[in-house]
């Protein structure tokens, strides 16, 4: 079974290699059937010709000042300042949370005091009503 799969794989690889060679032959000129001297002249001719970049992309002069400036290395101070800003934001958010918790706790205590006051007033009103009721009964 292993031999069959290896054979199939090598056949597939051979087909791929042959296909890639056929693609290369399509892209490049092959001097088939020419004399060695003609092949040598043709190679020299084709190697001497090279495509030049378009005029628009060439430098006006060979002066290096026309080239683009190299990007500066990032400043470490910026990174440190960024970290400081993030740290202060975190601290402010923690302070806000602490203040909000303290505010909510204070509001809850005020509500408790108010409820106690309402209860005591209710008790006072009940006592006053009871006293008035007793006065009416007996006096």
Torsion sign, CA atoms 31, 33, 36, 38: negative
Per-residue pLDDT of the chain (139 residues), as tens digits, is 444 444 444 555 566 665 666 666 555 666 677 788 887 888 777 777 666 666 666 655 555 565 666 666 655 566 666 667 777 776 677 777 788 888 899 999 999 999 999 888 888 888 898 888 888 888 7
Cβ atoms of residues 39 and 31 within 8 Å? yes
| SS3 category, 104 | helix
Query: Which of helix, strand or coil describes residue 50?
Result: coil
pLDDT at 12: 58
pLDDT of residue 43: 75
3-state SS, residue 30: coil
pLDDT on residue 109:
92
- Residues 6 or more apart whose Cβ sits within 8 Å of residue 43: 31
Each domain of the chain, given as residue ranges in start order, spans: 1-50, 74-139
DSSP state of 69: P
């Amino acid at each position: 079974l292993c031999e069959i799969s290896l054979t199939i794989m090598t056949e597939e690889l051979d087909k791929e290699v042959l296909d890639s060679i056929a693609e290369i032959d399509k892209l490049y000129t092959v001097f088939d059937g020419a004399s060695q001297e003609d092949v040598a002249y043709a190679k020299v001719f084709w190697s001497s010709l090279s495509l030049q970049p378009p005029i628009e992309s060439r430098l006006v002069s060979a002066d290096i000042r026309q080239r683009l400036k190299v990007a500066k290395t990032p400043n470490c101070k910026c990174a440190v300042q960024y970290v400081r800003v993030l740290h202060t934001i975190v601290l402010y958010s923690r302070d806000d949370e602490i203040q909000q918790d303290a505010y909510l706790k204070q509001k809850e205590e005020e509500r408790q005091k108010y409820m106690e006051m309402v209860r005591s007033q209710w008790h006072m009103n009940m006592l006053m009503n009871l006293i008035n009721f007793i006065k009416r009964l007996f006096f």
